[in-house]
Amino acid sequence: MHEVETANAFGLALVAVNLALQHWLSMRNSIFFSLRSSHEAIEEMEEDLTTVEIYAISCITASAHGMRRQKNVAVGIWYVKPHSIHFWRTFYQFREGDDLRFEENLRIPRACFDLVCALVSQELQQRPIPQQIREDVPTRSLSVRKKVAISLHLLGVGGPLHNMANLYGVGQFTVCQVLRQFVYALLKHKQSIICWPRTPQGWQALNDSFEEKQGIPNCCGAIDATHINMELPIDSNMRFLDVMCGMPGMCNDIRLLRNSSIYTSAQSNAIFNGPAITFGRHQLREFIIGDGGYLNLPWLVIPFPVIANEAQQQTFNYKLSSTHIIVERTFGHLKKMWGYLLQRVRNPDVQFLPKLIVACCILHNICVDLGVQGTTVADDEVLLDDSTIAPTPQVLRGCTRDVLFEYMRISGLL
């Protein structure tokens, strides 16, 4: 009997508080969700990405009848914190005639932006929301273009989340969720955008583009690592061919290489298995170029060690490093374009951050394919220091490096 009376008193108190807060909130032009439907509203907001920031208003209710133990009850009432969407409206309205401002904010030209929107439109499409909520809370409606703009803007400039939330009239939680959706949508297209050539003609074009730089034949790419931390082979046009990231920053280049997919594929002869160049008794197979931090492998050519005093070997090292410098240019372009990679991330999600880095590489390749120019570094700006040549002697007769050196010597390239 006592429990029934307690429940009745508690229910009457909730009804009274509910009516009082309805009247108060209506006077403040806030959006009210009744207690009866609050659980349904929460489920809808969990299903759909919203721009609603939820604040709980605590109110104290007391009942003199049957409530001896529970005197204070917190009642959750939901309302929408107002946001301004002035920036997005003006930015989107005048974007057609302001290319410079468009690229300053989103880091990519309009044609590239339209392509990215088309690429992820299916994954970023918002579910239908009730008509009344859509009219009363216009910031809750997020188009695909707005989601892409938020993600690109955040990746491009980095910075605190509240800055981006204020610009686009959304909550900080919404910014985080939009970025995650965008990254996962891009990752679905990774295999078609970051990949090695799929045809013999593609491999031949790759070889020819590297040979045009310093006369190095049968070269299929250059590889290096940067402290985000990534293992990235690229082609001569600064386009990523493969990506491996997520290893601890203390790992050296050799360990990164051995844990990468390119190492497994190359060791099993699944790649770099195209036609070899035959001269004399030698055959020069396909290979990629690395710096002195890597191993001298049949498919990976590195410069001669420090003790190399011959003029021709020094010239060989210079030409190799001049070709390899394309990797540093690509890293510089990637980090300059996507400033999020340069900032210090506090309490990072170690599972999500590597995916975000790969997404930036995908965007980089899209820009390269569309001819978007990035940071330029002259090919002859190369310093032959200890980081570009092998630190210890490596005498491996008959290896690809020796065959390449002999080919270039006979051809008069040294």
Average pLDDT on 254-268 reads 89
pLDDT higher at 298 or 134: 298
- Cα–Cα distance measured from residue 55 to residue 78, given in angstroms and rounded to the nearest whole number: 6
Q: What is the mean pLDDT of residues 98-120?
A: 86
**Is residue 318 within a helix (H) or strand (E), and if so which, with residue range?**
helix 311-337
231 and 359 in one domain? yes
Q: CA separation (Å) from 73 to 17, 57, 168?
A: 11, 12, 36
CB 125 within 8 A of CB 144: yes
196 lies in the same domain as 298? yes
Q: Examine the pLDDT at 135 and tell me if it is beyond 80.
A: no
Confidence of residue 139 (pLDDT cuts 50, 70, 90): low
288 pLDDT more than 80: yes
Residues 25 and 129 both lie in one domain:
no
pLDDT score recorded for residue 132: 58
CA distance 241 to 234: 5
| Same domain, yes or no: 99 and 154 | yes
pLDDT, tens digit, for every residue of 231-257? 668 888 888 998 888 776 667 888 888
Whole-model pTM: value is 0.72
Q: Are strands 300-301 and 287-289 parallel, antiparallel or unpaired?
A: parallel
Are residues 129 and 32 part of one domain?
A: no
Q: Can you tell me the mean pLDDT for 119-141?
A: 72
pLDDT beyond 50 at 101: yes
DSSP 255-299: HHHHTSHHHHHHHTTSSS-SPPEEETTEEE--EEE--TTS--BTT
| pLDDT tops 80 at residue 78 | no
Query: For residue 163, is pLDDT > 60?
Result: yes
pLDDT in tens, 307-353: 656 888 889 999 999 999 999 899 989 988 998 888 877 677 888 98
- State residue 213's pLDDT score: 86
Residues 102 and 215 in one domain: no
Answer for the pair 254, 294: CB distance below 8 angstroms, yes or no.
yes
Q: Based on the domain organization, do 93 and 67 belong to the same domain? A: no
Q: Are residues 216 and 322 in the same domain?
A: yes
What domain range includes position 389?
Answer: 191-410
Question: Sheet harboring 300-301: ordered strands across?
Answer: 244-245, 230-234, 219-226, 287-289, 300-301
CB 141 within 8 A of CB 127: no
| CA neighbours closer than 13 Å in the CB half-sphere of residue 313 | 13
Q: What is the pLDDT of residue 22?
A: 60
- Flag whether pLDDT at 187 surpasses 90: yes
For residues 152 and 115, give the distance between their C-alpha atoms in angstroms, rounded to a whole number: 13
**By three-state DSSP, how is residue 390 classified?**
strand
Query: Do 100 and 209 lie in a common domain?
Result: no
**Residue pLDDT, tens place only, 10-39:** 555 555 556 655 655 555 444 333 333 444
Query: What does the pLDDT read at residue 365?
Result: 93
66 and 94: one domain? Answer: no
| CA–CA gap between residue 330 and residue 317 (Å, rounded) | 20
Over the chain, what is the mean pLDDT?
A: 75
* Per-residue confidence (pLDDT) for residue 75, from 0 to 100: 41
Does 216 share its domain with 115? no
Helical ranges in 129-285 per DSSP H = 131-136, 144-157, 161-168, 172-187, 190-193, 200-214, 253-258, 261-267
Residue after which a domain boundary falls, among 67, 82, 97 = 82
When divided into structural domains, the chain yields a total of 3
Q: How many CA atoms lie within 13 A of 304 on its CB side?
A: 19
Listed residues 188, 219, 236: the one ending a domain: 188
Residues 202 and 331 both lie in one domain:
yes
The last residue of one of the domains, among 56, 82, 108, is 82
